[in-house]
Structure 1
Amino acid sequence: MEQPGRGFASASATYRQTGGEAAQELSFYGAIGLTSDVSLGIDLNRNSAGSGHALIFARLPLHTGSRYRLAAEAGFGGNHYQGVWQLMQKTTLSYGRSFETGQNTGWLAVDAAYELRNRGLETTWKLDAAIGLNRAGKMAPMLQVETSKPVGGRFSYALTPTLRLPLDSSRELILGLEYRNTGRRSLGLELGVWQRF
């Protein structure tokens, strides 16, 4: 959850190579706290195959204890393929916690999501996780794991070891190397920026 009047935004570009084919993907995510109990945000995605989505979401806290946090999120918008837009809905349950590793601290975030695309004709389950270390003013490692299973479709996953490089007190440069398996294997390079405001 974002604090009232505070927010977080990330933008990234990924270049992938699958055999002799190249692909690109652009993503943007932003959230801002409206009150202590409500955050609003936007999730945008587009790839070179001509598909993507645009969602507006609201997040509500379920548990805000000192050991871990739980939040529920509901998103509404659309997904598109080659210029044809259809209704999309997404429901997410998020878990987050911090931990200590001797001299440093770290964090873990897990998101379980259920997506309805193409006016509810296509349903997908997703489970994503990220774990990272905090090193004030220094380069810090992070690992991202993404999994997806459409109903009646193939299970896919991506592993992205990443480095976070501080640009200033509120911005970080994100450099990642992605391995993705969707039935076809690909390697990708991710370049992004995180901004806290």
Structure 2
Amino acid sequence: MGRILAILLLSLCAAQSASAGAWLREKGTGFLSLTGTIYNPSDTYDFKSAVYGEWGLTPNLTVGLDLNERPGLTGHALVFARIPVAELGQNGRFAFEFGGGGHHFQDRWHPMYKVGLSYGQSLETPWGYGWLAIDLAFEHRLRTNDPFYKLDATVGLSADRLINPMLQIETSYFGDSEVHWSITPSILIRGKNNTRWQFGIERRSAYPKGYGVKIALWREF
């Protein structure tokens, strides 16, 4: 049962919603994303939902909420804070993130905590401006004996046009298991009122293996 739980938690860890990485929100501004991913590993469809929000509490403190749920199986609820570590100008920036909350397997909830270090770099390419985010995280979920290690990377364009591309690569590791990963190429479509729509195809190694269709709504306010 412990091995099954670890694999299911790894599958949940390997598909988080897009975050701001090392960037902090300006004071009094926020970001919200609502994400749904549909998988069809066999004859039964599987669904995962995520809610991710950030708010600039002070110029040097961003707080947020990360909810992730695979109905009836696994999920987590995490409150976090992000603070700056180093501002390197054109060479990017680093930020530290820490948070706590709970995770569940079926209907049993247990505490969890997370610490992470993020690097962010603005990009200037022949196709317009963009960004690179690299996130390294350590998570401990009580009821599991070993911590989770995660290394994620996101690169995308943010040019002033209707459609921009984005690529997410997410990895996670637990104990002596193999590294689990997901790769999600997406397009971001600009909408009204500071919104963007994400449409992507997710390829993953953990349960449910195979492909999924990801749809997300991003809103800045």
TM-score (norm 1): 0.95
- Give the equivalent residue in structure 1 for 2:18: none
- Give the equivalent residue in structure 2 for 1:86: 110
- Structure 2, unpaired ranges of 5+: 1-23
- Give the equivalent residue in structure 1 for 2:89: 66
Deviations, residues 2-43 of structure 1 (Å, cap 9, x unaligned): 111111111100001213342110001111111111111000
The equivalent position to 2:57 in structure 1, one of 23, 31, 34, is 34
- Give the equivalent residue in structure 1 for 2:80: 57
Q: Helix, strand or coil: the match of 1:74?
A: strand
- The alignment covers a number of residue pairs equal to 197
- Give the equivalent residue in structure 1 for 2:197: 173
Are residues 70 and 138 of structure 1, via their aligned partners in 2, closer, same or farther at CA, if it must alter by over 3 Å?
same
The alpha carbon displacement at 1:86 in A equals: 0.3
- Give the equivalent residue in structure 2 for 1:12: 35
Runs of 4+ displaced beyond 4 Å: none
> In structure 1, what is the Cα distance between the partners aligned to 2:178 and 2:68?
21
> In structure 1, what is the Cα distance between the partners aligned to 2:100 and 2:207?
29
- Structure 1, unpaired ranges of 5+: none
Identical counterparts, % of pairs: 36
> In structure 1, what is the Cα distance between the partners aligned to 2:182 and 2:207?
11
Which amino acid in the other structure matches residue 35 of structure 2? Answer: S
The alpha carbon displacement at 1:121 in A equals: 2.8
User: RMSD of the alignment, in Å?
Assistant: 1.5
Q: Looking at secondary structure, tell me which structure has more strand per residue.
A: 1
- Give the equivalent residue in structure 1 for 2:20: none
> 1:93, 1:113 within 8 Å by CA — same for their partners in 2?
yes
Are residues 71 and 120 of structure 1, via their aligned partners in 2, closer, same or farther at CA, if it must alter by over 3 Å?
farther
Q: Looking at secondary structure, tell me which structure has more helix per residue.
A: 2
Which amino acid in the other structure matches residue 58 of structure 1? Answer: A
Moved more, 14-23 or 48-57: 14-23
> In structure 1, what is the Cα distance between the partners aligned to 2:95 and 2:169?
19
